[in-house]
Structure 1
Amino acid sequence: MYKSLSEKLAPPCGDRQHVLVVADDPGVTELLGTTLELAGYRVAAVDTGTEGMARLAQHRFDLVIWDTTLPDLERFVRGRRVAPADRPPLLFLTTCDSLHRLAPELSPGTEDYVVKPVRIAEVLARTQALLRGPSPERREETARYGELVLDDATCRARRGLRPLGLTPAEYRLLRHLLANAEHVLSKEQISRHVWGEFRANQAIEKLVSRLRCKVDQEESALIHTRRGFGYWLGCPSH
């Protein structure tokens, strides 16, 4: 079900940042708590959304990990929009079935998600990225390919004047394709960059398909398939 702790962990990466885990599955709570503590974080855990919101009102946390299967998700989603400058980054644990409700409301750069069953490598990678935030040298950085523009400070993308409304995973994929424009990237390369580990071909194909629908919605195609090899971004005439 969930990856065991016998899986090789990276060296400690936390700096005693305080993480709140809100999940009602004891197996998930134990796995995340042990993993994050071994990685150098301080962890507090609660098993209801009500208690999670109470903890957030009483204490300062550097990151919150919230299980979207909790029954009071909608109330929390509305509440998280209050005083966004004062709230910590959010990492959601979600299922494929509920992702469509969560993804459109995410704020790339300060919110992200992992799909259950959770994978240790992916949780640690997303945790590090959210806690790190945009580095000073990247705050003014934009990446471009023709009319396609990505702003790494806000993690937002547009094609011409049309905003793309990408989820965090879609943004990471598009950024990786753009950074390697006109070069074919294998499914394994893409998977390890987006999720921190290799995933089944079907997961990659679905992610690429969703991204294509947004990037190539009205204009000529920029994302292409090289059958048997992978995907690439560019103009076919190049």
Structure 2
Amino acid sequence: MSAHVLLLEDDPAIARTVAYALEREGLRTTHSLLLQDARNLLRHGAFDLLVLDVGLPDGSGLDLCREVRAAGGTPVLMLSAHGEEIDRVLGLELGADDYLAKPFSPRELAARVKALLRRAAVQAPAPLARTAPFLDDRAGQRMVLHGRPLALTRREYRLLACLLAGAGRIHARDTLLAAAWGDESDSQDRTVDTHIKTLRAKLREADPTREYISTHRGMGYCLDV
């Protein structure tokens, strides 16, 4: 069965061009003009990839990107008429997998969609990994503590997943930086410290009885389970 793409785009002419380019590549495409309509489609159906415009009459595709990333690991490609760096950075920070500024080539968009679908298929992780009291839903990029889903950003999830995979071991900041930011990062050690701080706060909110992440000065961080 061919992959199913949800296209959220309020310009009918652009939507027709994109849908035609995707369907020529054998990809089923469902088009939505409005943010709320796209939300309804996602509630009642499964999609393999989302192409989301930023500027919409009833909101922003960035909002839907945030919601989708919190719920699972569906690949997201963002579109924007502005081409401004702030849109691109915000989209990627919210969990978008790729970004394309208008005007764009429909063939390039189709190529990027296919690349994201291939990457998702190759990198699909084992669905669940349990290390009590944590449950790592790798397919959905979601972490559960004591049966309670944690509201983590993409970076926080990657940090916690790295710590959990090596629970009981000390992880250097460089290791955590590579795990959470990969090749995208020009960040410093302080970035890891800041994200660890917010991650600790979320873990504490879910379980105030203990501290899960310990600091080892000059060495790094350790997850104690």
Post-superposition offset of 1:155: 2.2
| Structure 1 unaligned regions, length at least 5 | 1-21, 23-47, 63-74, 94-98
Give 1:35-74 correspondences, 5 Å limit.
50=11, 53-58=15-20, 59-60=22-23
Native 8 Å contact 1:177 1:185 kept in 2: yes
SS of the equivalent of 1:85 reads coil
Q: Kindly indicate whether residue 198 of structure 2 is the aligned counterpart of residue 206 of structure 1.
A: no
CA distance in 1, matches of 2:39, 2:16: 13
RMSD after superposition: 4.5
Native 8 Å contact 1:108 1:168 kept in 2: no
SS of the equivalent of 2:41 reads coil
Q: Kindly indicate whether residue 163 of structure 2 is the aligned counterpart of residue 177 of structure 1.
A: yes
CA distance in 2, matches of 1:191, 1:54: 41
Shift in CA distance, 133/101, structure 1 to aligned 2, threshold 3 Å? closer
2:217 equivalent in structure 1: 227
The letter for the 2-side match of 1:145 is T
Post-superposition offset of 1:159: 0.7
Q: Kindly indicate whether residue 126 of structure 2 is the aligned counterpart of residue 167 of structure 1.
A: no
The letter for the 2-side match of 1:183 is R
Native 8 Å contact 2:216 2:222 kept in 1: yes
Shift in CA distance, 185/92, structure 1 to aligned 2, threshold 3 Å? farther
Shift in CA distance, 101/205, structure 1 to aligned 2, threshold 3 Å? farther
SS of the equivalent of 1:171 reads helix
Native 8 Å contact 2:135 2:145 kept in 1: yes
Of 89, 106, 111, 1:115 maps to 89
Native 8 Å contact 1:184 1:232 kept in 2: yes
The letter for the 1-side match of 2:74 is T
SS of the equivalent of 2:139 reads coil
Post-superposition offset of 1:200: 1.9
Shift in CA distance, 162/225, structure 1 to aligned 2, threshold 3 Å? same
Native 8 Å contact 1:184 1:230 kept in 2: yes
Deviating runs (4+, > 6 A) in structure 1?
127-130
* TM-score, scaled to structure 1: 0.53
2:49 equivalent in structure 1: 88
Identity of aligned residues (%): 25
Deviations for 1:46-96, whole angstroms, at most 9, x for unmatched residues? xx863765545443487xxxxxxxxxxxx5486265255245246999xxx
Shift in CA distance, 137/202, structure 1 to aligned 2, threshold 3 Å? closer
Shift in CA distance, 91/101, structure 1 to aligned 2, threshold 3 Å? closer
Shift in CA distance, 136/208, structure 1 to aligned 2, threshold 3 Å? closer
Post-superposition offset of 1:164: 0.9
Instruction: Say which structure is richer in helix.
Output: 2
The letter for the 1-side match of 2:72 is P
Native 8 Å contact 2:39 2:64 kept in 1: no
Post-superposition offset of 1:100: 9.0
| Structure 2 unaligned regions, length at least 5 | 1-7, 28-33, 55-61, 78-87, 99-112
| Equivalences, count | 174
* TM-score, scaled to structure 2: 0.55
Q: Kindly indicate whether residue 135 of structure 2 is the aligned counterpart of residue 149 of structure 1.
A: yes
